[in-house]
Structure 1
């Protein structure tokens, strides 16, 4: 059993030294294959990478990323936040709740967590602080709500998990809707209670906006609603696959950026395409190299051994899964979300299925763990993104503001872990 330890040590050592994750996964996988089967086994590596990426479903990943980059260049987050604040202005803490709603709706048209934080945060946080909201409430509501984009379709993490597990992307998109809305509701309810119990954190209720003004405000986001229907609606209705819907989304996002907001110059378009290609290539490289490492693990039957060990331990399946969730949260504090999916899925998925859980359910709760990871230091990308767009806040202040909201996210995760049917109900219905 020394050879698997050498391969695992190589993987962890390269990551600790700061090597790119795809290089660590590919290098450890190649070393493991060589130790297990000699030089002939190395010919498996190119086949593994090509077979993993040569998929119609994988086309959706770069297209959804391109859609998110296109929208991040527009003030669509500003408009969503404005409309939400007009409708919720009579509620104490309404602007903070509006931030949650704006991030949720922005996630439904981008699928990228940090894009929502940047787009909504650069307007919402300074606006809330100017109107008397505490900095902790303003920053925490945006940083954590931005992560909802990882669950609300179109979700890029779901596409990555689908590539690693074989679970249908459409089923994952449908299954993520209820948990995503549950987290949005829980965060909003927490904000409402917090502002009621601590009135100093939010100003008193503002002047009433009449219904005519509220209805007119919807004209600022008609294009967002159209894009949601175009992308998410076609997937839910079965009129389009996620890959086909992603192409609709790119066309719709380009129209919004170029026609509605008129911000899409040739230079800007080249920059957007280049950035989306860079991010897409990085994720695809990680997925392809993870397949090499996964093939090595399957070759020496490590996942099967772990699954057998998990079933032999005299612990209830629910407790085992809670321990798995805690491990994922701990790993998420030091590993980025995409890498966490590709590294842990080959190990954990056999354990989950052996315990009788649905791989679809595991994909949903895995992404819920990633939601917590992106707002947890030291690798919490949402925290650094918010600090970048709101420089007047200190990094310590941003981190402290997110902690109470992270606790709410964990409580919602606990509910969906203990009651798997909550996330499987909608996919089963549709």
Structure 2
């Protein structure tokens, strides 16, 4: 069939000339629907867009974005880093390992990777460089650990995947805990082993003796955020509230922490956070709606069925097909933003995954693990540009070089979760 080729070429052409991704997806999808159904395309298009966005669970997305933006306007990121240093200073490479710990917790606060890179990186990188850490350790630890926010709940990508795939967002949040913690531990272990082999990259901690009183005082600056995380996620996991309801309480709690506890925002600051959250949420939702138009066209001409049939018909073992899919996703992630990748590839790949006998919940976790690699690899790796923006003394080229070994660590862990799906599904099955 020539029509799908024309549609895909149109999509790639619009992206190549710099069109907004939502416009490229919507226009190419409408073109395909018009070629397939004529003027009815102008009925199917709006119906697809509205059908994608008309979801109660999707309300959690702008609310969690708002929650993260309120907390990003407070000293929580800085306090998390200082608390991690107070508790981990005895480790060789403690500042870099503390960066991983702080980013993991901040990921549970914000759900957006670039927020963690900006909040933690602006504090951690200058301190590491001042204490003699190598520039590659400083940059790589921040950029790679900032991606943990994509997997550790409340994760915005998991919310998007749940909306596209109809998998429970609460189950996805539970499923993201073990892989998220495993990835944080893998990054920390890599850093620890690396500085043992190359001690010149991370001088030992030199400073005042840290007492237990100092450690407890360090927690005083973050207990509000930790309590909010525990309340929001506890309400979801216990079944007391849906993700959307818990997100509403989380946004309100973050507002109270930012305005009344830390006094970080005045009226103008509140309006700025509201405006930024609306722009981010609006952009994501617009991409999701237009990508649904494109996805509905692909379903109409049975592209997912063709892909499934072609791959299953190769007689390759399921594990080989999965690794092939992972390599394709990693490659696409280097060229396409995370939101677009989820909403475009999920309708195509999910039928293949279910045909091979795998759980859609597991695939959502694996897909987001892929996206964690995507946000730290050029040319679309947003974490790279975010760190460059908050730490101008770092060159973009050395930031890119610094993440290479961390990409291998993440890809190795991705393969483990691909080959052993039960690891990702253990906690959700236990909770059920």
TM range (shorter): over 0.9
Q: What TM-score results when the alignment is normalised by the length of structure 1?
A: 0.98
- Alignment map for 1:338-357 (pairs within 5 Å): 338-357=339-358
3-state secondary structure, aligned to 2:295: helix
Q: What is the Cα deviation at residue 297 of structure 1?
A: 1.4
3-state secondary structure, aligned to 2:403: helix
- Summarize deviations over 1:229-252 as a string: whole Å, max 9, x none: 121121122221110111011011
Matched, 1:227 2:223: no
Q: What is the Cα deviation at residue 208 of structure 1?
A: 4.1
CA distance in 1: counterparts of 2:80 and 2:205, whole angstroms: 20
- Summarize deviations over 1:72-114 as a string: whole Å, max 9, x none: 1111100000000000011110111000000000000110100
CA distance in 2: counterparts of 1:7 and 1:252, whole angstroms: 45
Contact 1:93 1:191 in 2 (8 A): yes
- Summarize deviations over 1:110-137 as a string: whole Å, max 9, x none: 1010000000000011011111111111
CA distance in 1: counterparts of 2:296 and 2:56, whole angstroms: 21
In the other structure, the counterpart of 1:31 is 31
Runs (5+) with no aligned partner, structure 1: none
- Summarize deviations over 1:350-384 as a string: whole Å, max 9, x none: 11111111111111111001000100011110011
In the other structure, the counterpart of 1:310 is 311
3-state secondary structure, aligned to 2:307: helix
Q: What is the Cα deviation at residue 4 of structure 1?
A: 1.3
CA distance in 2: counterparts of 1:354 and 1:142, whole angstroms: 38
In the other structure, the counterpart of 1:64 is 64
3-state secondary structure, aligned to 1:324: helix
Contact 1:11 1:28 in 2 (8 A): yes
Q: What is the Cα deviation at residue 205 of structure 1?
A: 4.0
Q: What is the Cα deviation at residue 296 of structure 1?
A: 1.2
In the other structure, the counterpart of 1:249 is 250
- Summarize deviations over 1:115-168 as a string: whole Å, max 9, x none: 000000000110111111111111111110000000000100011111211111
Contact 1:89 1:208 in 2 (8 A): no
Bigger Cα displacement from structure 2, 183-192 vs 235-244: 235-244
Matched, 1:129 2:129: yes
Runs (5+) with no aligned partner, structure 2: none
In the other structure, the counterpart of 1:175 is 175
CA distance in 1: counterparts of 2:214 and 2:393, whole angstroms: 33
- Summarize deviations over 1:311-361 as a string: whole Å, max 9, x none: 111111101110111111111111111111112112111111111111111
Contact 1:134 1:202 in 2 (8 A): yes
In the other structure, the counterpart of 2:17 is 17
CA distance in 1: counterparts of 2:235 and 2:323, whole angstroms: 35
3-state secondary structure, aligned to 1:38: helix
Q: What is the Cα deviation at residue 266 of structure 1?
A: 1.0
CA distance in 2: counterparts of 1:392 and 1:21, whole angstroms: 31
Contact 1:108 1:232 in 2 (8 A): no
CA distance in 1: counterparts of 2:239 and 2:81, whole angstroms: 30
CA distance in 1: counterparts of 2:357 and 2:312, whole angstroms: 10
CA distance in 2: counterparts of 1:69 and 1:214, whole angstroms: 27
In the other structure, the counterpart of 1:149 is 149
Contact 1:297 1:303 in 2 (8 A): yes
Contact 1:90 1:208 in 2 (8 A): no
- Alignment map for 1:265-284 (pairs within 5 Å): 265-284=266-285
CA distance in 2: counterparts of 1:297 and 1:196, whole angstroms: 51
CA distance in 2: counterparts of 1:208 and 1:401, whole angstroms: 31
In the other structure, the counterpart of 1:386 is 387
Q: What is the Cα deviation at residue 66 of structure 1?
A: 1.0
3-state secondary structure, aligned to 1:376: coil
Q: What is the Cα deviation at residue 218 of structure 1?
A: 1.3
Contact 2:292 2:344 in 1 (8 A): no
- Summarize deviations over 1:6-30 as a string: whole Å, max 9, x none: 1111111111111111111111111
Bigger Cα displacement from structure 2, 329-338 vs 39-48: 39-48
In the other structure, the counterpart of 1:84 is 84
Q: How many residues are matched?
A: 430
- Alignment map for 1:160-171 (pairs within 5 Å): 160-171=160-171
3-state secondary structure, aligned to 1:120: helix
3-state secondary structure, aligned to 1:274: helix
CA distance in 1: counterparts of 2:182 and 2:307, whole angstroms: 32
Contact 1:122 1:389 in 2 (8 A): yes
CA distance in 1: counterparts of 2:235 and 2:135, whole angstroms: 39
Bigger Cα displacement from structure 2, 62-71 vs 103-112: 62-71
CA distance in 2: counterparts of 1:66 and 1:205, whole angstroms: 37
In the other structure, the counterpart of 2:3 is 3
